[in-house]
Amino acid sequence: MGNVQPWFILAMCVAGGITSIPMHMQYISTRGQTPPLSFEKTVMTGLAPDGGLLLPESIPDVSGALSQWRELPYTALAEQVMSRFFDMTPELQALISPSYATFRSPEVAPVVSWAGEPLHIMELFHGPTLAFKDVALQWLGNLFEHILEKHDSHLNIVGATSGDTGSAAIHGVRGKPRINIFIMHPKGRTSPVQELQMTTVLDENVFNLAIEGTFDDCQAIVKDMLADAQLHRRYSLGAVNSINWARVLAQVVYYFYGVFRVQERTAAATVDVTVPTGNFGDIFAGYVAMRMGLPIRRLVLAANDNNILERFFTTGEYRRGTVRPTLSPSMDIQIASNFERYLYYRSGCDAQKTAALMSEFAAGGSIRLDGGDPAFAAGSAGRDETLEAIRWMKQRFDYIPDPHTAVGIHVARQRLDPAIPMLCLATAHPAKFPDAIRQALGDVRPAHPLIDALEGLPVRCETLSAAAAEVRRYVIEHAQAGNR
């Protein structure tokens, strides 16, 4: 375990993962070589100095509070859930309301249901960039700004995106004077709308970088920069990818909200949840909610043709493959960053074992774990299944999902249990992916005024190779030296 980790972490894992809320929550690394950090330090650090990911030292048991939380509006629920993980309650209250004031649904994450149907859809795309990433990144942008003002500091964010994270992160921090943001996307591998949502933002603190490679190349460059202690310290580097714990924490909230809505409509004691995922961050947030006591029976992981995670949960082998372009580009990933957090719990909270497994994966491109996890099921959808799921939803419910959500719907239909309602996460608005919708439905074109407004706008973007040294030079030339 290592001497920096509290003794009760092991007890938590052996007993099943639930502890009561500590007075002052500290954060530890999955690799065990970083001393415990405060919440603020965790937010501003992003990746742990030892190369691991940061996690709370314990997961609070909130099962006794669920009955009081069920009727809370989204923002009040967010305060309750997030306050269990850090003691900034007055500041938290001041940050949450403005973070969700720009959402076009007063519920933030409304649940769509149909009478007599076991399938329910939670819409997470009502924020400014029409993707689920807004739920976390509007909050994270305000949190960054608050901490920086408090300490009179500056931050240079480096991030990688397969499509939606970049635009959501940019819109979360654009125009903030203490923050510069450098977002890398794989050139030509995002949807045209996703690219426009990033490159049409011309604020001076925003730098869009088209990388001649894959998302995994972009993500590796980000991790390389964040792992350089001298560079990290000199330029106050920060992370907005889901390696940042604060982003995962904000996503935990909507699992509570969605499960509560399904339960009140069905009187079900427990709910299954299907999550289309590529980087394992969204579904890991659901795993945290489950460990907190939320009555989720099973998390159903939905992958596209880049199905490294499905293969792991069905065979026990986590093996890197070649990224294949699909209709759901935000899931075109072969190395899932947040998998390391899950691996830590799966390894019995043994940081040494987790570090050894990650080293083995880095060296050979694969690892294997024995035994399964009843908390998870998994499936995948190829191109034809994705298009068929879009057509099925339109014909049966007159509802059009985006291709990522369609992947989830296909897998959810294979895993439906008549006795247990299924909540499927809708991760983006279909107007962001008109080509996929056209392939499924012909002349049908879902529109949205935010998307229509992008046409004809000027853009700004730099194209760089996938060489880490070239990207590093660019960031150093344009970054403001930090002082935190």
Q: Which residue has the higher pLDDT, 201 or 243?
A: 201
In a domain, 325, yes or no: no
In a domain, 367, yes or no: no
**What DSSP letter does each residue of 167-222 carry, written as one string?**
HHHHHHHTT-TTEEEEEEEETT-S-HHHHHHHHT---TTEEEEEEES-HHHHHHHH
pTM of the model: 0.90
In this structure, what are the phi and psi dihedrals at residue 94, rounded to the nearest 5 degrees?
-75, -20
Q: How does residue 191 score in pLDDT terms, banded at 50, 70 and 90?
A: confident
Tell me the pLDDT tens digit for each residue of 304-355: 999 999 999 999 999 999 989 999 988 988 889 899 999 999 999 999 999 9
pLDDT at 1 over 90: no
In this prediction, residues 103-132 reach a mean pLDDT of 96
In a domain, 192, yes or no: yes
DSSP state of 276: E
99 token code pair: 């973070």
What is the spatial distance between Cα 378 and Cα 311, in angstroms, rounded to a whole number? 8
In a domain, 152, yes or no: yes
Q: Are 132 and 425 in contact (CB under 8 A)?
A: yes
Give me the active site residues, please: 133
- The identity of residue 373, as a single letter, is D
What is the spatial distance between Cα 272 and Cα 415, in angstroms, rounded to a whole number? 9
In a domain, 329, yes or no: no
Q: Range of 215's domain?
A: 133-244+452-478
CATH number for the domain that contains residue 217: 3.40.50.1100
In a domain, 137, yes or no: yes
- What is the overall mean pLDDT for the chain? 91
Tell me the pLDDT tens digit for each residue of 389-440: 999 999 999 999 999 999 999 999 999 998 999 999 999 999 999 999 999 9
In a domain, 90, yes or no: no
So what's the pLDDT on residue 15? Answer: 33
pLDDT at 484 over 80: no
In a domain, 276, yes or no: no
Percent residues over pLDDT 70 in the chain: 94
Q: Which residue has the higher pLDDT, 190 or 206?
A: 206
How many domains does the chain fold into?
Answer: 1
| 307 closest CA partner among 297, 298, 299, 317 | 317
pLDDT at 14 over 60: no
Tell me the pLDDT tens digit for each residue of 445-473: 899 999 999 999 999 999 999 999 999 99
Residue 349 in 3-state DSSP?
coil
Q: Are 434 and 182 in contact (CB under 8 A)?
A: no
Cα separations (Å) of 74 from 70, 97, 157, 271? Answer: 10, 10, 28, 19
So what's the pLDDT on residue 229? Answer: 86
